[in-house]
Amino acid sequence: MEVAGSLFHIWTVFALIIAAILLFANERIELEISSTLILAALLLFFFLFPVEGPSGENLLPVSKILAGIADPALITVLALLVVGQGIVRTGALEQPIRLLVTLRRHHPMLAIVVVLATVMVISAFLNNTPVVVIFIPLMTALAERLHRSASSLMIPLSYVSILGGMTTLIGSSTNLLVSGAAVQAGEAPLSFFDFTLPGSVLALAGLIFAILVIPRILPDRASLKGSVMDVSGKQFIVQMEVAADSPLVGEAAVAGQFPSLRNITIRFIQRGEHILLPPFDNITLRPADEVVFAGTRKSIAEAVADNPQILQGFLETEGADAEAGAELTSTQDQMLAEAVVAPASRMIGRALYQISFHYRTRCVVVGIQRRSRMIRTSRMTDIRLEAGDVLLLLGKRPDIMRLRSNPDVLLLEWSARELPATSLAWRARIIFGAVVLLAATNLLPILIAAICGAAAMVLSGCLNVFQAGRAIDRKIIYLIGASLGLGAALQATGGAAYLAQGTLALMEGAPNAVILSAFFLLVAIFTNILSNNATAVLFTPIGIGIARELGIDPMIFVYTVIFAANCSFATPIGYQTNLLVMGPGHYKFTDFLKAGTPLVLLLWLLFSFLAPIYFDLG
């Protein structure tokens, strides 16, 4: 392959790639800053020293370097993140999660194994990008229910989808591009299951590695919000009145627990002048019953998400007005947060019914927790507040955030969490299903389907503009923009072909099996620097040319390109699904290096051992 640029251009690009990897791996420098520096260096260098084509045209103009910022793959990823956020926001996958969580009764790992194996099988027949989008919210909720960090599951989710994609022709766009490049080079097109057997062996080995090893390699990294909320487990005293139209009316206790109030401890029920104490056998809830229970903020949020109508019961304990009652008939735009009673607060020494908290703040006190001891008084509304008491508050986001300036309470902003708008779950499911169906059947390009889905999530009310904006991680935009700029420079200058030819020249005279192994490793390295699709198109004709020179079947090298180009595990820029899980898993660039590099080496060694046997290379 002819080299377009000079050695000066080529080695400068190599230096910039090395600098980019070092900057991305340096946790003390923000990823946005590193990406901007790399883009600035590329723009400046190729403006001062342009790469000229045979007719004197500039092969690497500014528009080509910056094309990554408007790359369809990037726009697709961002739009799918918004669609996925709509699924999370509405709790649309809550029922499937509960079915999966029941598997932990048999074995804690079983639910995770079932999900990852399912993803791998589905990815063999569907585009793995929408498959990962489907399972990101499911895995997030599953990790929370199993008391595990999402960081231990998100990278394995991405990896098994990539592994499944290397088993059939339609499993990945990379495979189709290789087939097309092979046809252009004079070879026969690939059939659907031509490489399924060796691909399945590699995929199965990768699945085992992803389940058993990767969670041990990855740090237990969660957001501050998630880590503080999940580990605290502190209990709040909660008082709720059963409204006349509440779904709790007529609900009977089962084994001492009411099904709608699971994972909480009911202390007593006040019915008129009588107090009903546990056990609650043969007790059925009635209108106007006051239920006093202890629960974590997580269990309270789950109870409210399952039955939004019980919000009215929290409000009635405060005696708020009818207008406020109308605001709390659903969980849409509602959030839970914690606030500490401040020293010298006007609330100290007064009970809830005396402070008119909702009237002054438009927020409702759902529960109270006292750090020094669990309060065991008769009713929540009778508790006289002390400095340091933690109040569990319910309200709309603007009202919760307005508490920042309230001198009586100290808002714990990390605790603010929106309640799922379960009444809109059916809308989110329809939109999400339509996006996946249209993309999987190729009725619409995935880019168009994703953008339409993101717009539908906002227009249907499943997300507001603020929530949709928060779903987009700006790190992804900067990272993929800089990476695709480097990829364009590497191809335009001929650097990729130069490195491939030089490496293979060193292997002259080596056995065919050794050359094939070295070729696999070279392609696997480049697929983590360039995009997997660019690597596939670049190396397919190179591999076919090598095979013809060696006098062996060119399809052996074509299959090798497929397997190696799909080994895009070591960087987040290697594949779209890596970018998709980067935000939900709270990953850094180095996390992919730690988890993905051993997997690439494992598949390389396994391929190097099996390929000579399977392809009969002697």
> pLDDT tens for residues 205-255?
999 999 999 988 887 765 434 443 343 457 888 888 887 777 788 888 877
Report yes or no: 129 and 453 within 8 Å, Cβ to Cβ: no
C-alpha–C-alpha distance, residues 441 and 450, integer Å: 14
CA distances (Å), origin 574, targets 125, 450, 461? 21, 21, 34
pLDDT at position 43: 92
pLDDT at position 313: 64
Residue at 516 is within a domain: no
Does the pLDDT of residue 286 top 80, yes or no?
Answer: yes
List the domain range (segments joined by +) for residue 240: 232-422
Report yes or no: 546 and 564 within 8 Å, Cβ to Cβ: no
Among 42-51, 85-94, 583-592, whose mean pLDDT is lowest?
A: 85-94
pLDDT at position 105: 54
195 vs 146 pLDDT, higher one: 195
CA distances (Å), origin 350, targets 184, 263, 370? 81, 30, 15
Residue at 570 is within a domain: no
Determine what percent of the chain is predicted with pLDDT higher than 90. 18
Provide the 3-class DSSP secondary structure of residue 378.
Answer: coil
Q: Encoding tokens for residue 269?
A: 């029920």
pLDDT at position 202: 96
C-alpha–C-alpha distance, residues 271 and 285, integer Å: 9
Residue at 341 is within a domain: yes
> How many other β-carbons are positioned within 10 Å of the β-carbon of residue 323?
7
Does the pLDDT of residue 28 top 80, yes or no?
Answer: no
Interval 272-296 mean pLDDT: 84
pLDDT tens for 501-553 read: 776 678 777 899 999 999 999 899 988 877 677 678 777 878 887 888 788 89
Report yes or no: 362 and 395 within 8 Å, Cβ to Cβ: yes
pLDDT tens for 409-445 read: 988 877 777 777 777 888 888 998 888 788 767 788 7
CA distances (Å), origin 441, targets 55, 445, 446, 480? 43, 9, 10, 27
What's 355's domain CATH number? 3.30.70.1450
C-alpha–C-alpha distance, residues 311 and 580, integer Å: 34
pLDDT at position 312: 66
Residue at 175 is within a domain: no
Residue at 168 is within a domain: no
Cis-peptide, bond into residue 50, ω within 30° of zero: no
pLDDT at position 231: 39
Residue at 368 is within a domain: yes
Q: What are phi and psi of 509, to 5 degrees?
A: 90, -10
Please, what is the average pLDDT of the chain?
Answer: 80
Q: Encoding tokens for residue 268?
A: 């007593």
Q: How confident is the model at residue 96 (pLDDT cuts 50, 70, 90)?
A: low
Residue at 408 is within a domain: yes
Report yes or no: 446 and 577 within 8 Å, Cβ to Cβ: no
pLDDT at position 170: 75
Which residues face 257 on adjacent strands?
A: 254
Determine what percent of the chain is predicted with pLDDT higher than 70. 84
pLDDT at position 225: 42
Number of separate domains in the chain = 1
User: What does DSSP assign to residue 320?
Assistant: -
pTM surpassing 0.85? Answer: no
Does the pLDDT of residue 329 top 70, yes or no?
Answer: no
C-alpha–C-alpha distance, residues 512 and 547, integer Å: 9
- Nearest to residue 190, comparing CAs of 470, 562, 616? 562
- Any idea which residue has 């401890």 for tokens? 265
- Nearest to residue 39, comparing CAs of 526, 477, 450? 477
Residue at 563 is within a domain: no
pLDDT at position 369: 86
Measured over the CA atoms of residue 55, residue 59, residue 64 and residue 68, the dihedral's sign is positive
Interval 485-490 mean pLDDT: 78
Residues in the chain: 618
Among 117-131, 344-358, 467-481, 589-603, whose mean pLDDT is lowest?
A: 467-481
Cβ neighbours of residue 130 under 8 Å, at least 6 residues apart? 80, 435, 436, 439, 440, 446
pLDDT tens for 146-162 read: 777 888 889 999 999 99
